[in-house]
């Protein structure tokens, strides 16, 4: 093999090495870029809720307690049931702020109020560990699925309200049994 044959082989090896380097760099960048997206956490708060059933005259109401997790701005929370629900204060607490299925809708804000009255749930501007809200579904509570959502901006309007912001995340869901 002459000198020109060696140069030809050297050129081919050089091109193959360059292609291999480009493929390795492209594969590495692809893995890096897609791994970044997979590692992002949701901006929604992390919460743990528990529920109990409380008697409300002749029917039962669901008492939902924030057991642990982040304190959450109440104006960024809303609740949805598998059937219409009303959110409010504890049964027997008096006033028009008590959760009552007569005022149920498909979506209820945590800051629901009527007129200039304060929000019915009565927990203040944030829902903190140990605080309870009450949800009364239309009819029986048995088998009702209740979902609490957080949205990235305050919910607009009241009764039932409209979620706002770029993000809306489910932060708690359970089906009532008992």
What average pLDDT is seen over the chain? 83
* Pairing, β 126-127 against β 47-56: unpaired
pLDDT reported for residue 117: 73
Our CA dihedral for 35, 36, 39, 44, rounded to 10 degrees, sits at: -140
Is 109 in contact with 149 (CB distance < 8 Å)?
Answer: no
pTM of the model: 0.73
**Residue that wins the pLDDT comparison between 62 and 3:** 62
| pLDDT tens digits, one per residue of 49-59 | 999 999 877 88
Share of the chain above pLDDT 70, in %: 85
Dist. CA 42–CA 113, nearest whole Å: 29
CA nearest to 85, candidates 65, 66, 110: 110
Dist. CA 65–CA 127, nearest whole Å: 9
End-to-end CA distance of the chain: 89
Helix, strand or coil for residue 41? Answer: coil
| pLDDT tens digits, one per residue of 6-15 | 666 778 888 8
pLDDT reported for residue 35: 61
CA nearest to 137, candidates 161, 166, 108, 117: 108
Which whole number is the average pLDDT over 78-93? Answer: 88
pLDDT reported for residue 143: 94
pLDDT reported for residue 98: 80
């Amino acid at each position: 093999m002459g000198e020109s044959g060696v140069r030809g082989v050297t050129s081919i090896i050089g091109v193959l090495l360059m292609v291999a380097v480009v493929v390795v760099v492209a594969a590495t960048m692809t893995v890096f870029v897609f791994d970044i997206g997979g590692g992002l956490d949701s901006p929604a708060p992390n919460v743990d809720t528990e529920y109990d059933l409380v008697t409300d005259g002749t029917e039962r109401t669901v008492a939902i307690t924030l057991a642990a997790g982040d304190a959450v701005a109440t104006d960024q929370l809303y609740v949805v049931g598998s059937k219409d629900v009303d959110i409010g204060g504890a049964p027997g607490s008096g006033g028009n702020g008590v959760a009552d299925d007569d005022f149920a809708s498909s979506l209820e804000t945590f800051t629901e109020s009527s007129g200039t009255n304060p929000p019915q749930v009565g927990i203040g501007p944030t829902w903190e560990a140990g605080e309870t809200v009450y949800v009364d579904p239309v009819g029986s509570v048995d088998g009702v699925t209740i979902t609490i959502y957080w949205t990235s901006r305050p919910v607009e309007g009241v009764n039932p309200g409209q979620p706002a912001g770029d993000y809306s995340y489910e932060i708690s869901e359970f089906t009532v049994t008992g």
